[in-house]
Structure 1
Amino acid sequence: MRFVSTRGVAPAVDITAALAAGLAPDGGLYVPDPIPCAPPLDADADLADIASRLLAPYFDDSPLAAALPAICADAFDFPAPRLPLDDSGDAVLELFHGPTAAFKDFGARFLARALGALRHDGDPDVTVLVATSGDTGAAVAAAFDRRPGFRVVVLYPDGRVSPRQAHGLGCWGDNVRALRVAGTFDDCQRLVKQALGDAALRARVPLASANSISLGRLLPQAAYYARAALRQQRDTGAPANFIIPTGNLGNASACWLARRMGPPLGDIVLACNANDVLPRYFDGAPYTPADARATLANAMDVGAPSNFERLRHWHVDDAALRGAMRAFSVDDAAIRAAIAQAASDGAPVPCPHTATGLDVLRRLRAAGDTRAWIVVATAHPAKFESVVEPCIGRSVEAPPALADCLARPAHADPMAPDYDALRAVLLG
């Protein structure tokens, strides 16, 4: 299979080149051409098996084809349960049972295993660059922690992630370095893209991307949507409709990709925070990136979502894209109310991001939508104790893996939102 740039200038490449490069030479994002149909999938299969079968067409005739089942078995070795919210048929898809308690663990672990399988003895070390609004960096750091042949440089916006998220970004050491940038996530993302597009730098320092611009992050995330949809259809006879908290559109793009491949997915609704670039666009306004605003759902504080470029590429025009999904904006007051309401109802306590999805579900119900919905639970609430605990009046216990991270010392170096500063770090 070949992969092309969304900007149409860079030459087509195979999957191994797309994984290694992250960003295409023309600044675009790699996409499969064409998108394959899913092979037959068994709803009763485990997640690793579904992932291996679903992703196989992308890896046909590549050096990773034979290794794909083992890569998936290693990356998808923790659960992604679909749990009922109540007796209405609504459910949550819990994606936070991995080592850093966020959905990013699936894609980060897959990418680390795939890039590791492509290495040969004597290859130079690869620097994995990642910009994070909170959860991606920790997942990538954990996935590449002490992995021979790789070093990781994590950029995050100083003061705009939760204290526990910040600790999880800086607690690794060894081959992982955290940089707290005096700016926004969009600044961090801009710096990473600038480095990836710097041919002179890449000639001296082999680079790879671990943000959702990387196909190695995006493709595996389609697997948990496919399995949830297959099991929803098996259990209810109806396709699965998803409400997805989103900022940079990676998780949402993976859901759209899963639907496009053929598994029984229904409607897709995006739950955004007060950064409302996407809700305004899907309501008919021109796509206009904006400066990111700080919110309680900080991992979604994105004003220029990278994967919008992929979604636009996959649709013939704006009308087609607007017909493919909807988007709603949820403010901080509604996030607090959704967290408090879940606790009052005796339901699982959500993180602030998952709370945006629960508020959107409430709004759909109020508008008369009676269909069953699956709300994607993106992170464990204990990562956001400073937001969640005041809403519910009690403490939230950290899962064991997160507790282990919090027990380690953590350090991050300050950095200006300046490309020369990042370049100096990468060449150092």
Structure 2
Amino acid sequence: MRVYSTRGRAPAAGLAEAIAAGLAPDGGLYLPEAWPRLDAAAFAADADLPAVATRLLAPLFAGDALAPALPGICARAFAVPAPLCPFGADGDFLLELFHGPTAAFKDYGASFLAGCLTALPRTPAGRPLTIVVATSGDTGAAVGAAFHGQPGLRVLILYPDGRVSPRQAHQLGSFGGNVRALRVAGSFDDCQRLAKAVLADAGLRAEVPLGSANSISLGRLLPQMAYYAHAALVHWRAHAAPLHLVVPTGNLGNALAALLARRIGLPLGRIVLASNANSVLPEFFAGGDYRPRASLATLANAMDVGAPSNFERLQALYPDPAALRRELTAEAVDDAGIRAAIVRTHARRGQVVCPHTACAAEVLDRLRARGEGGHWAVVATAHPAKFPEVVEPLLEMPVPPPPALAAMLARPAQAEPLANDLAALQALLRAW
């Protein structure tokens, strides 16, 4: 499969080439030139998550250098189940994506990307490939865990100082070795701007081979379709009805993956985006202009994004805003709504959720209150134990971390300060 840049000023590339590069040379984001069509019947022989992932992604990787390695990559990346569980007694569901090593949905895409880059030939002259990743909380830890100790690969994590949870910050700095964490004096949008700038710097990349592990990378985006495909198939086989989704979103990668899975033909119904107080997307989908702006700090910090990168992909796929608004809707939830949803979800549904999942739970409750029917799943993007300072006082109870998260928190952690300055980041990369 060939891929193209959303900005149309770069030559088409092979999928492996695009995954290794992360960002197109013109600064655009890569997208496949064509999408396969696969309905539920195409997956009749596929039951578990790795098998569904392999079947789903095989047409996109057909003829690519990574095609022979795809089954093994999927087997490793999707070894952890993503169960579709009951969410209270009202027939709703919770898609649990937090059972990986860092207790967040990003473990799946990060592991898949690491498998791809490990399978590709090494950079010239034995120089390591440095993965630059901006994170609003969860991406960096997932990428660090996936790439830690991998020969020929290094990771540089940029996160906004003071704007991730204490446990997220500890995770980000707990790796050492080939993984370095930088606490940037700025917002996530600043971190994302710095990462995009160095990835688009041809001169720097000639000196320091660079790649990306944010959802701007197809190696992160495409595999995230797999758990939506699997959930849709599990539900379809049990109920012969499409599964509707409420997806917490910030940078739009996870939500875009759900949309792409539906576009390919999986039995998914409506997709509703749940934002926090950073309401750029809800305003657009309500009919306003797309107006990116500085992000606000909220309790759902991993969604504190004022300029979602993947909106550029949405515009490339749906150039007509009216057509795009027919595909998705979005609602915003402020911090008061997040707190109320955490308490209400525990009381009414018997479920403890993280602040990001609480945004989606609040939106689902609004939909039900407006009389919305059908079968709905809230996408649970992180384990609530990553946010004890938010969840535990509200519920007046401890939330024990799962074993993998507990082990990570027991390790020492260190992060280096970095000014919100491109020249400082360029100098650090050249000196590493």
Q: If the length of structure 2 is used for normalisation, what is the TM-score?
A: 0.98
1:154 to 153, 157, 164: 157
1:100 to 102, 110, 113: 102
Name the counterpart of 1:22. Answer: 22
Name the counterpart of 1:274. Answer: 277
CA offsets per residue over residues 167-214 of structure 1, 9 Å max, x none?
A: 000000000000000100000000000000000000000000000000
- Asked if 2 retains the 8 angstrom alpha-carbon contact of 1:43 and 1:227, the reply is no
How far 1:18 sits from its partner (Å)?
0.5
Distance 2:301 2:167 in 1: 12
Match status 1:357 vs 2:360: yes
- Asked if 2 retains the 8 angstrom alpha-carbon contact of 1:43 and 1:234, the reply is no
Q: Supply the AA of the counterpart residue of 1:372.
A: H
Q: Supply the AA of the counterpart residue of 1:243.
A: V
Distance 2:237 2:145 in 1: 35
- Asked if 2 retains the 8 angstrom alpha-carbon contact of 1:43 and 1:230, the reply is no
Distance 1:347 1:234 in 2: 26
Which secondary structure does the structure 2 equivalent of 1:397 belong to?
coil
Name the counterpart of 2:82. Answer: 80
1:337 to 327, 337, 340: 340
How far 1:38 sits from its partner (Å)?
2.7
CA offsets per residue over residues 18-60 of structure 1, 9 Å max, x none?
A: 0011000111000000122237113861100100110001111
How far 1:305 sits from its partner (Å)?
0.1
Which secondary structure does the structure 2 equivalent of 1:137 belong to?
helix
- Number of equivalent positions: 428
Name the counterpart of 2:50. Answer: 48
Name the counterpart of 1:413. Answer: 416
Name the counterpart of 1:214. Answer: 217
Distance 1:51 1:309 in 2: 25
- Asked if 2 retains the 8 angstrom alpha-carbon contact of 1:43 and 1:231, the reply is no
Name the counterpart of 2:245. Answer: 242
How far 1:346 sits from its partner (Å)?
5.3
Name the counterpart of 1:113. Answer: 115
Instruction: Report the more deviating stretch, 58-67 or 139-148.
Output: 58-67
Distance 1:113 1:371 in 2: 37
CA offsets per residue over residues 118-176 of structure 1, 9 Å max, x none?
A: 02496421000000000000000000000000110000000000000000000000000
Match status 1:9 vs 2:27: no
Distance of aligned partners of 1:43 and 1:351 in 2 relative to their CA distance in 1, 3 Å threshold: farther
1:323 to 326, 330, 335: 326
Distance 2:319 2:206 in 1: 36
Distance 1:43 1:56 in 2: 15
Name the counterpart of 1:387. Answer: 390
Distance 1:425 1:406 in 2: 27
Q: Supply the AA of the counterpart residue of 1:369.
A: E
Taking only aligned residues, the RMSD between alpha carbons, in angstroms, comes to 1.1
Distance 1:335 1:225 in 2: 24
Name the counterpart of 1:184. Answer: 187
Q: Percent identity?
A: 62
Distance 1:337 1:59 in 2: 44
Q: Supply the AA of the counterpart residue of 1:220.
A: P
Q: Which runs of 5+ in 2 are unaligned?
A: none
CA offsets per residue over residues 352-409 of structure 1, 9 Å max, x none?
A: 0000000000100111112221000000000000000011001100000000110000
Which secondary structure does the structure 1 equivalent of 2:193 belong to?
helix
Which secondary structure does the structure 2 equivalent of 1:66 belong to?
helix
- Asked if 1 retains the 8 angstrom alpha-carbon contact of 2:242 and 2:375, the reply is no
Q: Supply the AA of the counterpart residue of 1:191.
A: L
Q: Supply the AA of the counterpart residue of 2:110.
A: A
Name the counterpart of 1:60. Answer: 62
Name the counterpart of 1:257. Answer: 260
Q: Supply the AA of the counterpart residue of 1:382.
A: A
- Asked if 2 retains the 8 angstrom alpha-carbon contact of 1:42 and 1:50, the reply is no
Distance 1:120 1:149 in 2: 7
Q: Supply the AA of the counterpart residue of 2:303.
A: M
Distance 1:342 1:94 in 2: 15
How does 1:126-145 map onto structure 2 within 5 Å? 126-145=129-148
Which secondary structure does the structure 2 equivalent of 1:177 belong to?
strand
Distance 1:112 1:276 in 2: 32
Name the counterpart of 1:32. Answer: 32
Distance 1:346 1:390 in 2: 19
Q: Supply the AA of the counterpart residue of 1:107.
A: G
Q: If the length of structure 1 is used for normalisation, what is the TM-score?
A: 0.98
- Asked if 1 retains the 8 angstrom alpha-carbon contact of 2:88 and 2:348, the reply is no
